[in-house]
Amino acid sequence: MLQRQRRLNEFLFLKDYLPAHMLCTVKRMSLIMEHLENLVTDTLSLPSLSLPPFSSSSSSCSNNEDPRYNLLPWHLRRCLEFCFIFTPGFTFYKKDLVLLWVAGGLVHPVVGRSLEEEAGHYFDLMVSWNYFLLVYPDHPEPGLTSLDLDPPLYKLRFDWINIDPFTMDHEFVRHCLFDGLVSEKARHASVGRCSISEGWLQPSRGLRTIFLRRRGTHCYSNSLLNDAGRLFLKVRYLRILDLSHAGFKSLPDYVCDLLHLRSLNLSYNPIKTLSRSIITLFRLQTLNLFRCHELTSIPDNLYLLSNLRHLVISPVKLNLMSTFIGRLTSLQTLLQFTVLRKDGCQIGEPRNLNNLRGELSIENLENVATLDEAKGASPLKTGIHKESLVWSKNEPNANFDIAQGLRPHCNLKVLKIFNYNSKFPSWVSNPSFTHLISITLTNCLIEELPPLGPLPLLKSLQIVNVNGLNILAPSSTDGELSKLLSHLYLHWKFGI
C-alpha cells in the first residue's frame, strides 16, 4: 500500500497532463492511502495482546461463554475457528493441528521464527486461555508428566464460543458437516460417508480443506471415493486433504491434479506404493503416511518435492527408499529412516538434513558396514529430542564400534534401543547428555549398563525383555546408586 501511495504521489506531478476525471480519482485514492498509512501506524503503536487467565468468578457472560473471544486478534481467531471442522469431543495432537494451520495459510509470519514455531506459540496461548483442554488431565504417574514421552491429546472447548459450528456463516466462512451438502460459501469442510454419496461437493468450488472422517471403525468404500474423484476436479484450490482410513491401495489419480495442495494425509490406508506422479504436487509441505503397514517403497523422484517439510512414514518396513532423500533439505519431520543394503539408501543420506526436529527412528542398523558410515548418521542434529536405534531382530547385529559411532547430539531427551546384542555404548553415560530423561531397552542382550549417575535429569529407565543383564551400574558407588534410584522411575519387564 505504501508503494502504491508513492506512485500516486508521483502521478500528482502530472496533474497538468491528466484529464479532470482521472485527476479526481487519483486524488481520492491518495487520500485513502494516506488514511491507511496513519491507521497502520496507530495499529503498530498499540500494546501487544496480553489476556489475563480465565476466572469463572469474574466472568459475567451467560452460558459459560468466554468474553474475550471477540477481542482476539484476527489471526488467532482464524486459527481457533478453523478447529470447528472437528466435531465436539474430537481429540487431536498439538503438532497435527499446528501443521494444519501452517498448510492452511493461517499463521502470521514472524522474523526469526519458523511458521511451525509461531503456530506452536498460538497453540500454547489457546491452552493457557482454556480454549483447548487436556483429554486426560489426571495422569496415572504424576511424576512422569513432565517427561513428554507420549504427546498429550487435546480437544476444543465448544461451550466457550457462541458460534454454532454447523451453521457458521460469517467473514471467515467454514462449515462442519457430516451428512449434508456443503454450502457454496464454505472454505473448510468435514464430511461423512452419506454426504459423499449425495454429490456433496457439487455446490462448493472454493473449498480449501476437506476432511473425510470415519465413524467408529468404518472405512469408506473405494466405489464411493472413486465416484467422488470426479468432483475433486472442481475444487482445484484445495490446500488440505485428509483421506485417512479410506481403504486406498494406491494413490488416487485425481489427487495429483490438486496442484495447490499443501497437506496430504493418507494415514491408515493399505497403500503398497506411491505413484511417481506425486511430484506434480510441488507445493506439498506435509505428506502423512502414518501406519500404512502395506507400504514397501517410496518413489525415487520424491526429492523433487523441494517444499516438503514433514514426511511422516512410520511404522513401515520399506524395501526401497529414495536414495536422494538427503536432498530434501527443508525436511523438519522424518519419523523413520530405513537403512538399506548397498543398492539402497545408505545411512549417510540424512547427513544434510539439519532442520530435523522432534523424533527420529533409524531402522535396520545391521546394514551399517563401517564406523565411518555410522558417524555420518546424525551429525549434530540439534533439533532431535527423541531417537530410536533399531536393529532387525532376526539379523546379525553390528559390532560395538558401530554403536559407538551412532552417538546423537547431547540435546537428546529420550533414547530407545531395540534388538541390540553387544556391549552397551559408553556415550550414554557421558556427562554432556544433561537433557536425557528417559532410556528404554527392548529385546536386547547385554551384560551390564554403563554408569547412569552422571545423567542428572534421568527419570525413566525401562528394561523390557533384556536377557543377560546382571550389573545395573558397574562403576557406581552404593551412594551414587541409591541417589540415582531415589529419583528414577524403573520399569522392568521380562517376556515369557
pLDDT in tens, 209-220: 888 765 444 455
CA separation (Å) from 116 to 110, 119, 134, 355?
11, 5, 21, 12
- Outline where DSSP puts E strands in 364-413: 384-390
- Is 389 contained in some domain? yes
Q: Higher-confidence residue: 147 or 434?
A: 434
pLDDT at 261: 95
31 and 104 inside one domain: no
381 and 477 inside one domain: yes
When pLDDT is cut at 50, 70 and 90, the band that residue 60 belongs to is very low
What's the domain range around 486?
335-496
- Is 283 contained in some domain? no
379 and 457 inside one domain: yes
- Is 14 contained in some domain? yes
CA 256 to the chain's CA centroid: 22
pLDDT at 125: 92
- Is 208 contained in some domain? no
356 and 485 inside one domain: yes
CA separation (Å) from 375 to 337, 352, 402, 404, 457?
15, 13, 8, 8, 26
Q: How many domains does the chain have?
A: 3
When pLDDT is cut at 50, 70 and 90, the band that residue 387 belongs to is very high
Domain end, chosen from 110, 137, 160, is at: 160
Let me know the angle formed at the C-alpha of 336 by 79 and 349, rounded to the nearest 5 degrees.
110
- Is 238 contained in some domain? no
pLDDT at 288: 95
- Is 222 contained in some domain? no
When pLDDT is cut at 50, 70 and 90, the band that residue 89 belongs to is confident
Of 107-111, 179-183, 330-334, 339-343, minimum mean pLDDT range: 179-183
Nearest-angstrom CA–CA distance, 147 and 347: 29
When pLDDT is cut at 50, 70 and 90, the band that residue 396 belongs to is low
Domain end, chosen from 135, 160, 185, is at: 160
81 and 6 inside one domain: no
- Is 115 contained in some domain? yes
pLDDT at 146: 44
When pLDDT is cut at 50, 70 and 90, the band that residue 307 belongs to is very high
Nearest-angstrom CA–CA distance, 95 and 283: 20
Q: How many CB atoms lie within 10 A of CB 181?
A: 17
35 and 154 inside one domain: no
339 and 466 inside one domain: yes
Percent of the chain with pLDDT over 90: 16
Q: Which CATH number is 466's domain given? A: 3.80.10
- Is 457 contained in some domain? yes
pLDDT tens profile 338-370: 888 766 567 888 888 888 988 999 888 888 877
129 and 23 inside one domain: no
Of 169-183, 424-438, 440-454, minimum mean pLDDT range: 169-183
108 and 29 inside one domain: no
83 and 8 inside one domain: no
**SS3 (DSSP) at 21:** helix
Strand order in the sheet with 91-93: 91-93, 153-156, 132-134
150 and 13 inside one domain: no
pLDDT at 488: 57
342 and 418 inside one domain: yes
